[in-house]
Amino acid sequence: MEKVTIGFDIGVSSVGWSVVGMESRKILDSGVRLFSAASADKNKDRREARQSRRLTRRRKTRLKDLDRLFLKNGLEFEFYKFNNPYELRVKGLAEKLAKDELTAALRHLVKRRGVSYGLEDVEAEEENSGSDYMNSIERNRILLKGKMPCEIQLERLQRFGKVRGQVEDEAKEIYLNVFPTSDYVREAKQILETQQKFHPELTEGFLDEYIKILTRKRDYFVGPGNENSRTDYGIYRTDRNTLDNLFEMLIGKDKIYPEEIRAAGNSYTAQLFNLLNDLNNLKLGSTEDGKLTFEHKQTIVEQVTRSVGNITMLKLIAKVTGTKPEEIRGFRIDRKNKPEIHSFASFRKARKKLLESDVDILDWPTNLLDELAPILTLNTENGEIRKRISLDLAPRFSLLTEDVIDLIVQHKNAFAVAGNNKWHRFSLRTMQELLPEMLETSKEQMQILTERGMLSRNQADYEGMEKLNPKQISDEIYNPVVGKSIRETVKLFNALRDIYQDIGYIAIEMPRDDNEEKAVRDAKKFQKENEEEKEKALTEFQGKTGLSSEKNGKCS
């Protein structure tokens, strides 16, 4: 049997294939494998249900731990005989509470302990978005300057008959029961300090333990489980490994250094690496070897990073090198058939935004920008961004004052990378090793990696295998739609390999969309355009031949 080439056209719910003889140039086999597309929406539904179960379970655990703390310190509790815990909390700020009243008030605080970040970081939810929502949050911020949460809540209960949820007054103003945990802690401390005068059981040790229970929250990057109860949904893996961050699994690892996590695409190092790689691929007509010099690249990087306006990279490169734009070749082409060269887009966009407040990130250390990038990429909530910057970066970088952190949080979207390239294929370590040579020479990344022997021979991993393992190959593909398409393609390849043993080449056309609905819409649009073109051609044909549609129908 002759050697063949197998081609795959992978879609979101189908894989087309063809087998072509390399000598005869004949199509030996072809077909389409259809399957139901995976849906990310189903994953979202399961994730939200799972999150709800965990929140309920963790609240119950906190309350059980609180009950044990009460028993340990001889505090009696009969929670359900009090109909209005808000009254007890307000009373406890300045007056003596009976033991059962005290425990009811403290337990109510642990049940409803607010949001874990400040109100300045609360964002309008999709269903409640708009000025009404944010006005309500601002109203709460102002009230908290002179009152405790319980005082505000009791006033609303007496006025509106409810506290939780969304409350609306006669003037259609919205009142939301959204208060930070820090203010609940402030309230709890005042209640406990007042009650210490009347109840000797309330020691400093009790106060510390109570505040720990009140504020206890699992970091988002830890996930469920612990050392003794391991699960592959958290950092405590069932294979006995413990990750530093749950998102290591989702980000993926560097192929050069498998122990290193891939870098964020908006990191300074990643943007510099991408630009230099593009520059080293260019061919010019104005230099002796047709390549950019070290000085050219230095100048281009400097001018690009200092610019906050629109940049046409081809014109900039032509100006710096003294070359006509039409004499520059080797650049990538985008979907509109225009030159595509990296231009520090996210860096320039963020710099422009912060310059409006007289903060220039061009003066920031590269390692700060590199460490800030994954925080802004991983986190979507303002509160978590502020927390991570304050805890992980501010202690080491004095320029990160509260005002600067406010600016970063406020303009977080300016740092984002456009498109789906949120994570680079390489780690910071790999790129930092290659960057000096990329700047000094005209070598692009693959050439340097090959010369240094840093490219792993992935094909050796499959030597001697009878069949490819679909799950193993798609293991690091976290998009469920793409993952399923790849697994179905591997199954199809295994079946074809049983028939065609001598395979010379494999050609793959990847899907342009990872959304089945969009693919269907595009297909319908394509069909409509074909029908319109056909109708136009038919009308023109009838006009030139004089044949009616009926006669033309008979002819066809």
Place of tokens 């609306």: 168
**Contact, 128 vs 175, CB < 8 A?**
no
Mean pLDDT of the chain: 87
Average pLDDT rounded to a whole number, residues 145-155: 95
Q: How far apart are CA 244 and CA 236, in angstroms?
A: 9
- pLDDT score, position 64: 94
> What DSSP character marks residue 73?
T
Strands of 143-227, DSSP E: 166-168, 174-176
CA distance 289 to 41: 53
Tokens 């413990």 — which residue?
242
In angstroms, the CA 240 to CA 491 distance is 31
- Tally the residues of the chain: 556
**Residue 552 pLDDT level (bands cut at 50, 70, 90):** very low
User: Collapsing DSSP states into helix, strand and coil, what is residue 182?
Assistant: helix
CA–CA separation, 431 and 438 (whole Å): 10
Q: Tell me the whole-structure pTM to 2 decimals.
A: 0.70
Q: What is the pLDDT of residue 128?
A: 44
Tens digits of residue pLDDT in 314-326: 999 999 999 999 9
Long-range contacts (CB closer than 8 Å, 24 or more residues apart) made by 524-532: none
Confidence of residue 278 (pLDDT cuts 50, 70, 90): very high
Please tell me the predicted confidence (pLDDT) of residue 127: 44
Task: Report the pLDDT value the prediction gives residue 204, as an integer from 0 to 100.
Answer: 94
Specify the DSSP element, H or E, that contains 372: helix 366-378
Instruction: Report which of residues 174 and 476 the model is more confident about.
Output: 174
Most confident segment among 244-258, 326-340, 469-483, 492-506: 492-506
Mapping DSSP to helix (H, G, I), strand (E, B) and coil, where does residue 34 land? Answer: strand
- Region 457-477: mean pLDDT is 71
Distance CA 28, CA 10 (A): 19
Which uninterrupted H or E stretch holds 205? Answer: helix 204-215
Average pLDDT over residues 504-519: 70
- pLDDT, tens digit, 9 for 90 and up, residues 351-383: 999 999 999 999 999 999 999 999 999 887 888
Burial-class residue 99 by CB neighbours within 10 Å (0-12, 13-18, 19+): middle
The DSSP letter of residue 393 is I
Residues 81-137: pLDDT tens digits? 788 999 999 999 999 999 999 999 999 999 988 888 777 777 655 444 457 778 888
Domain coordinates in residue numbering, the chain:
74-202, 268-440, 516-555
β-sheet bridge partners, residue 339: 333
100: nearest Cα among 199, 187, 204: 199
